[in-house]
């Protein structure tokens, strides 16, 4: 039984965040994510045409999701796959366990898949008496630790090399050296023995093509290819929004996904699977079962929240999020962490889980800018906050016809919420609290240029009094600039006019 | 195009051999390998490369009765390729009858024959050529861009996790 103990304990995201900020080891591990900061640059540098094209194809799919799913099913069946539809995670678990029983499988190898995390696939299979092995190195380490992945692309971002060495040493039965090459070689040998014996492979899919029935998967390690080469049964768990209209669209999506996820022009392996093994072929699965998972996703179509279904799971929004980069994934206590997780989790669970997540955001809009398919994440967070406050759940009442498609925020185009359309419902007028009076005074002072200048000058002087090493909510307070932005700009303009 | 590919594989960790005429490619691979080498049957590039003769009893063919037991002991796997992309250093390898999925995956060294006439400037160009015939897709079409790698140990790339530890593209000039 692997179980999923949460590493960062606490009843709320706020409580867990406090623990995470005090955890020096976690802070050291999460600082490694700085090595992925350039992915935001990579997204920004991707040509606008590619991003616009990708965003448009995603919305084209959402405009008739059920239609494309029907086409996908026809195409999959044409190439010899068996298609199952699961409305809920429990349904998907039942289908997968049934397949394992019918095929008399005993040993399962898995490639990395967040969808299988979403349905707690491993626990269900182990309860049914099967052995389950995660074969992606990061997922393997997380499985050995009995945890959940803390990042959707790089599952072990919360672990330092000494902790990873400890986990693998326990598995080896002898101390291993703290050396990446040697640890990798150990994992290679250990996993290879088991992969060569497995009789069932479970995979996800990054994209599923409605015209050809092709499943496209990107990896770097080659473990996925073991999962679709050695075992005689393959099960692919595919959330419904993974469908894309045409095989040719992969030319747009594959490079965009890998560049946004890891900065690679293309991942080391791109595997395109069209049906199970064919007559005359001596390896690959005899049967391919594709399980299409809904889990409330289709109910979002036609509502403002359908934008979230455009997500391609690149993780770029996690890498740039100031909250994620401070507390790491386990503080969210949800399968999907970070900005996309804060939106997706309450939507998938109709507000029964992750209710506090949309509030754990600075609304800085970095996620919106980083998103390669133009999902207005900050807008969706604001909308969720209002819905959770007023309705206790995401309001999916606005159906097709009433809902006009959300205009997309163009990255770099001014304020990240500039495109927000629907105004938030008016708040009930409350008594004049101290807070309201404070804001009113602030508004009055900043209404005059003189008041503004004096107050910012005073704030700059005051900020110098804060000790250099002071921390607030775990973050160091930056030293104020010597001159204000307006002054700097004035000087620059004088300089250039000369 | 070959220059671009050469510059790319410097980054991705693939080795280039050639360009050379097809009939010399087989002997060149045989001379650089030891032990059992897994090869396909019916691959247009590999069949005419003289590899089978050069390897002699070292060749592991997919019709061998104990192929499944032998493949994990092969020291190298050889495949042809449909297409290559110069900007990403990728090759497209199709599985099929006589061309097992395991060849570019399970042996520790993957040798891939690449006809220089099939090298496209970009991944997207190469992909579009595959997409032009969507009805002819094989059961498994894999794009390989170098030896297997992982970033799971503190975000530092480590080469040689599950797939091959080394990849060599043998460029063929006809």
Tell me the ipTM for this assembly.
Answer: 0.97
* pTM score of the predicted model: 0.86
Give chain A positions within 8 Å (CB) of B158: 180-181, 184
CATH class of B2-173: alpha beta
What would the two tokens of residue A422 be? Answer: 């629907």
Cβ of residue B137 closer than 8 Å to a chain A Cβ = yes
Could you tell me which of B50, B173, B37 has the C-alpha nearest to residue B107?
Answer: B37
Q: Which residues pair with A445 in a beta bridge?
A: none
The pLDDT profile of chain A, 498 residues, written as one tens digit per residue, is 333 445 677 889 999 999 999 999 999 999 988 877 777 777 778 888 889 999 999 999 999 999 999 999 999 999 999 999 999 999 999 999 999 999 999 999 999 999 999 999 999 999 999 999 999 999 999 999 999 999 999 999 999 999 999 999 999 999 999 999 999 999 999 999 999 999 999 999 999 999 999 999 999 999 999 999 999 999 999 999 999 999 999 999 999 999 999 989 999 999 999 999 999 999 999 999 999 999 999 999 999 999 999 999 999 999 999 999 999 999 999 999 999 999 999 999 988 889 999 999 999 999 999 999 999 999 999 999 999 998 889 988 755 444 455 444 333 333 333 333 334 445 555 556 788 888 889 999 999 989 988 888 888 888 878 777 776 766 677 777 778 888 888 888 887 655
Q: Do B134 and A248 touch (CB under 8 A)?
A: yes
Residue A55 and residue A374 in contact, taking contact as beta carbons nearer than 8 Å:
yes
Could you tell me which of A381, A339, A353, A332 has the C-alpha nearest to residue A17?
Answer: A332
Best B74, B162, B165, B167 member to test A by mutation, with max A CBs in 10 Å, is B162
Could you tell me which of A260, A216, A252, A249 has the C-alpha nearest to residue A372?
Answer: A260
The total of other beta-carbon atoms located within 10 Å of residue A484's CB is: 15
Give chain A positions within 8 Å (CB) of B131: 247-248, 250-251
Cβ of residue B65 closer than 8 Å to a chain A Cβ = no
Strand blocks (E) in A362-459: none
Q: Is A217 exposed, middle or buried (0-12, 13-18, 19+ CB in 10 A)?
A: buried
Residue A382 to chain B, least CA–CA distance (Å): 32
Nearest chain A residue to B67 by CA distance is A282
């Amino acid at each position: 039984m692997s179980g999923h103990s949460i590493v960062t304990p606490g009843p709320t995201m706020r409580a867990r965040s406090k623990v995470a900020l005090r955890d020096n080891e976690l802070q050291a591990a999460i600082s490694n994510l700085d090595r992925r900061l350039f992915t935001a640059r990579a997204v920004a540098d991707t040509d606008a045409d590619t991003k616009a094209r990708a965003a448009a194809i995603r919305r084209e799919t959402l405009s008739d999701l059920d239609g494309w799913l029907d086409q996908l099913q026809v195409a999959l069946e044409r190439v010899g796959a068996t298609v199952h539809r699961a409305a809920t995670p429990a349904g998907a678990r039942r289908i997968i366990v049934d397949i394992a029983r019918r095929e008399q499988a005993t040993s399962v190898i898995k490639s990395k898949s967040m969808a299988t995390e979403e349905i707690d696939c491993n626990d269900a299979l182990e309860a049914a008496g099967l052995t389950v092995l995660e074969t992606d190195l990061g997922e393997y380490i997380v499985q050995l630790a009995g945890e959940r992945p803390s990042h959707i692309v790089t599952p072990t971002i919360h672990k330092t090399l000494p902790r990873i060495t400890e986990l693998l040493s326990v598995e080896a039965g002898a101390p291993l050296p703290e050396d990446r090459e040697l640890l990798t070689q150990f994992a290679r040998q250990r996993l290879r023995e088991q992969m060569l014996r497995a009789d069932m492979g479970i995979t996800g899919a990054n994209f599923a093509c409605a015209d050809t029935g092709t499943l496209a998967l990107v990896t770097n390690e080659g473990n996925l290819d073991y999962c679709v080469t050695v075992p005689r049964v393959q099960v692919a768990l595919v959330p419904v929004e993974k469908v894309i209209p045409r095989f040719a669209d992969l030319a747009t999506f594959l490079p965009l996904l890998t560049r946004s996820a890891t900065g690679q022009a293309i991942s080391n392996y791109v595997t395109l699977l069209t049906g199970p093994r064919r007559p005359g072929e001596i390896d690959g699965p005899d049967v391919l079962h594709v399980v299409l998972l809904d889990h409330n996703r289709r109910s979002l179509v036609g509502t403002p929240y359908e934008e979230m279904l455009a997500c391609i799971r690149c993780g770029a929004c996690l890498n740039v999020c100031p909250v994620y980069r401070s507390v790491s994934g386990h503080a969210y206590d949800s399968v999907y962490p970070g900005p996309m997780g804060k939106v997706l989790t309450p939507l998938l669970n109709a507000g029964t889980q992750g209710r506090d997540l949309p509030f754990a955001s600075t609304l800085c809009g970095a996620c919106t800018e980083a998103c390669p398919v133009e999902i207005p994440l900050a807008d969706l967070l604001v909308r969720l906050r209002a819905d959770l406050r007023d309705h206790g759940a995401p309001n999916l009442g606005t159906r097709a016809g009433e809902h006009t498609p959300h205009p997309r925020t163009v990255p770099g185009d001014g304020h990240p919420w500039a495109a927000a359309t629907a105004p938030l419902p008016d708040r009930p007028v409350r008594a004049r609290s101290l807070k309201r009076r404070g804001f009113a005074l602030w508004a009055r002072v900043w209404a005059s240029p003189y008041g503004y200048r004096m107050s910012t000058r005073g704030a700059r002087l005051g900020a110098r009094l804060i000790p250099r090493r002071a921390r607030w909510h775990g973050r160091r307070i930056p030293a104020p600039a010597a001159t204000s932005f307006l002054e700097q700009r004035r000087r620059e303009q004088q300089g250039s006019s000369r | 195009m070959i220059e671009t590919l050469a510059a790319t594989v410097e980054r991705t960790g693939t080795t280039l051999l050639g360009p050379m005429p097809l009939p010399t490619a087989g002997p060149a691979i045989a001379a650089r390998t030891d032990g059992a080498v897994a090869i396909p049957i019916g691959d247009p590039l590999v069949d005419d490369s003289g590899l089978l003769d050069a390897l002699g009893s070292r060749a592991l063919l997919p019709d061998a009765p104990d192929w499944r037991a032998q493949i994990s002991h092969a020291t190298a796997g050889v495949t042809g390729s449909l297409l290559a992309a110069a900007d990403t250093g990728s090759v497209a390898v199709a599985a099929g009858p006589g061309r097992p999925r395991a060849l570019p995956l399970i042996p520790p060294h993957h040798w891939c024959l690449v006809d220089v006439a099939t090298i496209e400037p970009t991944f997207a160009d190469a992909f579009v050529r595959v997409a032009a015939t969507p009805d002819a897709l094989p059961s498994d079409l894999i794009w390989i861009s170098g030896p297997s790698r992982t970033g799971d140990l503190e975000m530092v790339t480590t080469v040689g996790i599950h797939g091959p530890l080394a990849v060599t593209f043998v460029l063929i000039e006809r």
